[in-house]
Every structure is written in C-alpha cells, then in structure tokens.
Amino acid sequence: MDIQLGTLSFLPVQEHLNLTAEAVASAVKRLGNTEMVGVTEIDPGLSDTVSFCEYYQVTPEQAANCVIIEGKRGEERKLAACIILASTRADVNGKVCEVLNVKKASFAQMEKAVSESKMEFGAITPIGLPETWPILIDKAVADSKYVIIGSGIRGSKLAVPGSFLASLPNAQVVEGLAHPRV
C-alpha cells in the first residue's frame, strides 16, 4: 500500500488498528475489502478540518466530514451520518430530511453523537457506527478515488476509497446531499 495525500503517508489499517477507536477496529476486522484503507498518525490538535487541511496540505476536496444528524418525525427520533466533502455543506433541511423521511433534521448534540458513536468528537467516522444508523454519502465522496476521514480518535486519520464508503452496511449514495460552501 502506498497512499500519499498532502504531506501524509498512510499505512495499512489492518496492521495498525491501535491507531483507531475500538468501534472502528472492530468494524475493520468484520468488514471485507479493507486492504485499501490506510491510517496515519496526526497531531490531535490539528484534527479539525480547516487546520488539518492547512497543516498537512490536503485540499478540501480530498477530505470528507462525517456529520451526525438527528432526524425527527413526531415523537420518533433517529440518528444518521452524512459523509460530505470538506468543501461542501450538508443540505440538512432539504435532501437529508427527504432521504430520512423526517419532518425536521438538525446536527446531533455533541454529547449524544460521541456517546452513541463511541468515538471522539471531531473524529467520528462512518466505519464502526451503530448498524441501525443510515449512512448517507454524497455522490462526490462516493466518486472519489480516496478521501481522508476520521478514525474515531483525534490522533489519526483514515484514507479510504469512495467506493469503500459506498459499500458499507446501511450506506446510501445520495446525489445532492451537499452543496458547495458559499
């Protein structure tokens, strides 16, 4: 494996599960086709997208964010993950509501997202999320050769093919899930 994005070199995640959250390591062991997934250590203080991209010379089109959304319909509430390029923003009130079939959607509270995902804030990733959560992947992410996403901990990042993300259980590729940032 030889994945180089920005100034980062990635190692095979299967051989470096200690660089991921426990939920992510369990998922990597369970899932097939993980030989193309890489992991690299980073400074945990640079985990947030803007500082990460700037410091490690990664373009916002090479980085993907996993945002946790809470959808509501009456008394029913459901959590979902939206995977979008860092250069975009999720269409929460439009496309997300439509796909999840909810009346209202908003970003989940940080404490809830962290406790339910069993991952660190700012490092939540679709790999290893609870199997009941829908994973909505913007088509631009699914079409990417590689994107950099969180690893479940702030001290590392994963490099994954967009096609791998699209193949995750409960994943759905959604055209128009995100729009360019203005």
Per-residue confidence (pLDDT) for residue 32, from 0 to 100:
82
Please report which confidence band the pLDDT of residue 173 belongs to, taking 50, 70 and 90 as the band edges. very high
What integer is the mean pLDDT of 88-116? 92
pLDDT tens sequence across 28-71:
999 988 999 999 999 999 999 999 999 999 999 999 999 999 99
Domains of the chain: 3-180 (3.90.960.10)
Whole-prediction pTM value? 0.93
**Residue 90's closest CA among 135, 54, 127?**
135
Stated as kind and residue range, the H or E segment containing 33 is: none
Whole-number Å distance between alpha carbons of 90 and 23: 25
Whole-number Å distance between alpha carbons of 141 and 168: 13
Q: How many CB atoms lie within 10 A of CB 112?
A: 13
Please report which confidence band the pLDDT of residue 2 belongs to, taking 50, 70 and 90 as the band edges. confident
Is the pLDDT confidence value at 182 over 80?
no
**Residue 150's closest CA among 166, 172, 165, 136?**
165
pLDDT tens sequence across 123-144:
999 999 999 999 999 999 999 9
Per-residue confidence (pLDDT) for residue 74, from 0 to 100:
86
Kindly calculate the radius of gyration of the chain based on its CA atoms and give it in whole angstroms.
15
Is the pLDDT confidence value at 73 over 90?
no
Whole-number Å distance between alpha carbons of 21 and 146: 21
